[in-house]
Amino acid sequence: MFGYVLRRLVSTIPVMLIVAVFVFLMLRVGPHDPAAIIAGDNANADQIAQIRQQLGLDKPLLTQLFVWLSAILHGDFGESFFFKKKVVSLIADRIEPTLALAICTSILAVVIAVPLGVVAAMRRGSMVDRLVMGFSVLGFSVPVFVIGYVLIYIFAIKFPILPVQGYSRIADGFEPFIRSIILPSLTLAVVYVALIARMTRTSVLEVLGEDYIRTAYARGLTPLQVLVRHALPNAAVPIVTVIGLGVALLIGGVVVTESVFAIPGIGRLTVDAVLARDFPTIQAIILLFSFIYVMINLIIDVSYTLLDPRIRY
């Protein structure tokens, strides 16, 4: 088991390295001169040159890459061009709302989607199935921010039972926190629910066609027993996989949802950084999110060994 986890952990190194090199090249090879951005619009050529030297931008590309990489490994992501602050502390200030949103959304989505998918599979072709599938296609088709505004319009403007925008920290009381997080989580959950419900339906349907399901019936089990004891344990791996892959969708959604609901999280930070061409911040955010994504999928990979004895460690 330990060897397997270690092996999987090691296998993420090249992936993260490629991400890092890509992120590095994006800035250095891109058309923007970081020194010119830092220096501002009124700077002359001398000032820019001086900043270049300070940042080490005059050194060979490979040297720059190594300097940058080793700084990152020491936890130094540089200083934000725009906020004039260390990027690390910038992100640390903003991480709570984003984490809260992501966790609430995931729980909400899994709790809603898995039962929906199972019911749709059990009653294939029925009205329920069609409704679930219809909802799932619709969920894929409406932009996150439109869903957000529709929910705001209904639950905050027409029937003002929830706050329109903003975020209340957990430290400032649990109830205001929950009230502030409900609409954003619901908004973000829609596409995630669509994804998971669909996958659950497909994999349960697939498993129900397997030979061992027939064997289970031949033992005299009821359909419910067959579902719970035989179908679900086998359908778990693809469902868990799609939950992991959906994290990418979730991260993209966070950026938009935080903008719609004016939540001061990393998503908002991303948009602000891009608008300000604040490259150190952009780089750090991409690295962070990619790292989280890769790690979540690593954990899910390792969890396969618990779900399916055929997967060896």
Considering beta carbons, is residue 152 or 177 the nearer one to another protein?
152
SS3 86: strand
The residue among 17, 116, 129, 25 whose CA lies nearest residue 72 is 17
Please, what is the minimum distance in Å from the beta carbon of residue 185 to another protein? 18
The 3-state DSSP class for residue 125 equals: coil
Beta carbon of residue 242, minimum distance to another protein (angstroms, whole number): 14
Residue 109: what residue type? A
User: How many CA atoms within 13 Å lie on the side-chain side of 124?
Assistant: 11
- Specify the residue, 177 or 265, whose C-beta has the smaller distance to another protein: 265
Query: What is the C-alpha separation between 313 and 309, in angstroms, rounded?
Result: 9
Q: Give the nearer residue to another protein in terms of CB position, either 148 or 177.
A: 148
Q: Could you tell me the smallest distance in angstroms from the CB atom of residue 286 to another protein?
A: 6
Nearer to another protein, 47 or 162 (CB): 162
Nearer to another protein, 60 or 125 (CB): 125
Which is nearer to another protein, 185 or 281 (by Cβ)? 281
Question: Smallest distance, Å, CB 216 to another protein?
Answer: 7
- Smallest distance from another protein to CB 239, Å: 14
State the minimum distance, in angstroms, from the CB of residue 262 to another protein. 10
Q: Confirm if 263 and 184 have CB atoms less than 8 A apart.
A: yes
Report CA-CA distances (Å) from 309 to 11, 186, 275: 22, 35, 49
Neighbouring residues of 97: CB distance < 8 A, sequence distance ≥ 6:
167, 169, 258, 263, 264, 265
CA atoms of 189 and 112, how far apart (whole Å): 9
Q: Nearest approach, Cβ of 46 to another protein (angstroms)?
A: 26
By C-beta, is 105 or 270 nearer to another protein? 270
What does the alpha-carbon distance between residue 235 and residue 229 come to, in Å, rounded to a whole number?
11
Residue 190 CB coordination number (10 Å): 24
